[in-house]
Amino acid sequence: MDSICIYCGSSDDIHPDYKQAGRFMGRALAENGIRLIFGGGKTGIMGAVADGALEAGGEVIGVIVESMNTPALAHFGLTRLEVTPTIHERKARMYELSDGYIALPGGFGTFDELFETITWGQIGIHEKPIGLLNTRGYFQPLMAAIDHAEKEGFIFPEHRRMICMAETPNDLLACMKNHQHPKEAVKRWMRQQP
């Protein structure tokens, strides 16, 4: 993996452990020679991830939507900041630039990006690894819901296993490097019904 897209929250009103985890994640990417692709913001975990990568000498590409490209929100100290007219174009560009995806704690925007990425993997649009950095057990309730959906027959076990989850950045990267895309499950899920 040469580049990883990070999805995460931009709120500053959060527990400091979340920002610290973001900084560690950014640093781990840089130390492993992995380019950071992210939403281009300077606040919350988003800014912490970028700062961690930059402090460790990493390459950081931000992709921000035009309406958020303001001094209050945009991170102007990046390797490169790209501006897109719409949120859909922003997400498409981040997807295009990335070899894998990691979600750190966040809200609706993070969940939207994460689930879109998982869904695309499920239907075979990409075969890239997907990870969750489980800081403070943040993703435990989400994974419980996903496990329930699998138990009820809405998700194939192979698709559930596409999601790596770990407590530390290096453990998460190690899991993602061992990713094997469930091609047969994609074929089974996409089968034609008579």
CATH of the domain at 113: 3.40.50.450
Rounded distance between C-alpha atoms, residue 66 and residue 149, angstroms: 37
**Contact by Cβ (8 Å): 20, 136:** no
3-class DSSP assignment, residue 113: helix
pLDDT of residue 191: 66
Residue 9 lies in a domain: yes
Task: Enter the tokens of residue 140.
Answer: 């435990």
Q: How confident is the model at residue 159 (pLDDT cuts 50, 70, 90)?
A: confident
Count of residues for the chain?
A: 194
Choose among 100, 103, 128: nearest CA to 115.
103
Q: How confident is the model at residue 182 (pLDDT cuts 50, 70, 90)?
A: confident
Average pLDDT value over all residues in the chain: 94
Residue 194 lies in a domain: no
**CB neighbour class for 2 (10 Å; exposed up to 12, middle 13-18, buried from 19):** exposed
pLDDT digits (tens, 9 = 90+) for 98-133: 999 999 999 999 999 999 999 999 888 899 999 999
What letter would DSSP give residue 58?
-
**Nearest 5°: phi and psi at 139?**
-90, 0
Q: State the pTM of this model.
A: 0.93
Task: Enter the tokens of residue 11.
Answer: 């709120």
More confident residue, 137 or 123: 137
User: Could you give the number of structural domains in the chain?
Assistant: 1
* Owning domain of residue 169: 3-189
Neighbours of 31 (CB within 10 A): 16
Q: How confident is the model at residue 193 (pLDDT cuts 50, 70, 90)?
A: very low
Residue 84 lies in a domain: yes
